[in-house]
């Protein structure tokens, strides 16, 4: 008995434009910056065990925070671009929710389990949850990181405010440097460190959460590529996906 092809199967491969250039640039700049932040963050976590000097620790935090600015500017730019992006790169293609979202999530999961997964031009409904969690964790790292860069290095945008807080009476806050104990008021410095502590805790916790979510992200990409094809990894370079089934989110 001959099997009739499913009506959703396109007889030829078809190419779809998925990711615009700003989204692709964002993705790879973010991936490289986060990799550098994880590597330098891991050294900061183990700085005492590695026997780093006080000066070495400040240099290390400066390198880490410099990568942090790259990541922060890139991420904020992506959030702005999501207001201008199309159906795949804008907020409606990223955030889970909106009319019919739960139905499409159910349909996608069922199709995945059946062994004939639906192919999406943009993010599939499950991926939208993953990408949103990633964005949220990156936003938490960005916010807490900028506060700690202010408390530890007196760097913008909050550094000037912290320098004013801890400067000893009569000392110009702009001259306060990390490690310059003669320029600071000890009691104010202790109060500032107490204020800083929860931000460092959240920064560290979000780091572990990010490590888990980034691993899941990579596993999901590999599984999708293996089960659904669609050249989804090269699509982040070329912008184009090659699909064999009719995508539910095609224009
Ligand atoms: C994906 C993004 C990021 C990751 C994975 C990350 C990771 C880490 C880790 C693991 C630590 C050590 C925490 C600890 O000692 O308890 C750390 C510390 C630090 N991070 Fe980040 N970070 C990120 C983003 C940022 C950003 C955007 C900035 C600021 C521009 C920043 C500034 C700092 C500073 C100043 C410290 C030193 C805090 C300390 O002395 O413990 N980070 N980061």
For residue 157, give the CATH number of its domain. 1.20.950.20
Which residue ranges of the chain lie beneath pLDDT 50?
1-2
Cα 59 to ligand 1 centroid, rounded to whole Å: 13
Pocket test for ligand 1, best of 39, 45, 68, 151 (most atoms within 8 A of CB): 68
Ligand 1 atom at minimal distance to the Cα of residue 44: 12
Instruction: Report the C-alpha gap between 159 and 96 in whole angstroms.
Output: 36
Q: Under DSSP, is residue 145 helix (H, G, I), strand (E, B) or coil?
A: helix
Ligand 1 atom at minimal distance to the Cα of residue 72: 27
Asked if the structure places residue 68 within a domain, the reply is yes
Instruction: Report the C-alpha gap between 68 and 172 in whole angstroms.
Output: 27
Asked if the structure places residue 202 within a domain, the reply is yes
Asked if the structure places residue 178 within a domain, the reply is yes
Residues having CB closer than 6 A to ligand 1 are: 34, 37-38, 41, 44-45, 61, 64-65, 68-69, 71-72, 138, 141-142, 145-146, 148-149, 152, 200, 203-204, 207, 210
Instruction: Report the C-alpha gap between 228 and 55 in whole angstroms.
Output: 51
Asked if the structure places residue 190 within a domain, the reply is yes
Cα 144 to ligand 1 centroid, rounded to whole Å: 8
The DSSP code for 3 is: P
Q: What total number of domains does the chain contain? A: 1
Asked if the structure places residue 37 within a domain, the reply is yes
Ligand 1 atom at minimal distance to the Cα of residue 137: 1
Q: What tokens does 96 get?
A: 């889970």
Nearest CA to ligand 1 atom 13: 204
Residue 36: what pLDDT? Answer: 98
Q: CB-side exposure of 185: number of CA atoms within 13 Å?
A: 16
Q: What tokens does 74 get?
A: 């890139």
Asked if the structure places residue 251 within a domain, the reply is no
- State the residue range of the domain holding 172: 9-245
Residue 2: what pLDDT? Answer: 43
- Answer for the pair 186, 167: CB distance below 8 angstroms, yes or no: no
Residue 166: what pLDDT? Answer: 98
Residue 43: what pLDDT? Answer: 98
Residue with tokens 């639906």: 118
Cα 66 to ligand 1 centroid, rounded to whole Å: 11
Asked if the structure places residue 2 within a domain, the reply is no
Asked if the structure places residue 29 within a domain, the reply is yes
Q: What is the pLDDT of residues 69-85, one digit of tens each?
A: 999 999 999 999 999 99
Residue 13: what pLDDT? Answer: 83
């Amino acid at each position: 008995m001959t099997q009739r092809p499913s009506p959703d199967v396109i007889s030829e491969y078809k190419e779809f434009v998925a990711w615009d250039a700003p989204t692709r640039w964002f993705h790879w700049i973010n991936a490289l910056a986060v990799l550098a932040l994880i590597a330098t963050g891991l050294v900061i976590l183990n700085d005492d065990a590695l026997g780093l000097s006080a000066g070495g620790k400040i240099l290390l935090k400066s390198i880490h925070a410099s990568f942090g600015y790259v990541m922060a500017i890139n991420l904020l730019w992506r959030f702005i671009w999501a207001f201008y992006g199309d159906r795949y790169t804008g907020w409606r293609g990223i955030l889970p929710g909106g009319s019919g979202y739960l139905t499409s999530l159910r349909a996608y999961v069922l199709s995945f389990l059946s062994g004939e997964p639906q192919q999406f031009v943009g993010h599939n409904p499950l991926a939208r949850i993953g990408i949103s969690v990633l964005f949220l964790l990156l936003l938490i790292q960005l916010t807490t990181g900028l506060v700690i860069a202010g408390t530890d290095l007196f760097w913008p945008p909050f550094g000037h405010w912290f320098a004013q807080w801890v400067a000893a009476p009569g000392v110009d806050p702009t001259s306060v440097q990390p490690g310059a104990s003669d320029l600071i008021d000890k009691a104010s410095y202790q109060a500032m460190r107490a204020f800083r502590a929860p931000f460092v805790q959240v920064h560290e916790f979000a780091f572990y959460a990010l490590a888990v979510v980034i691993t899941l992200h990579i596993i999901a990409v590999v599984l999708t590529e293996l089960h659904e094809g669609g050249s989804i990894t090269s699509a982040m370079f070329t912008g184009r996906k090659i699909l064999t089934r009719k995508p539910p989110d095609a224009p």
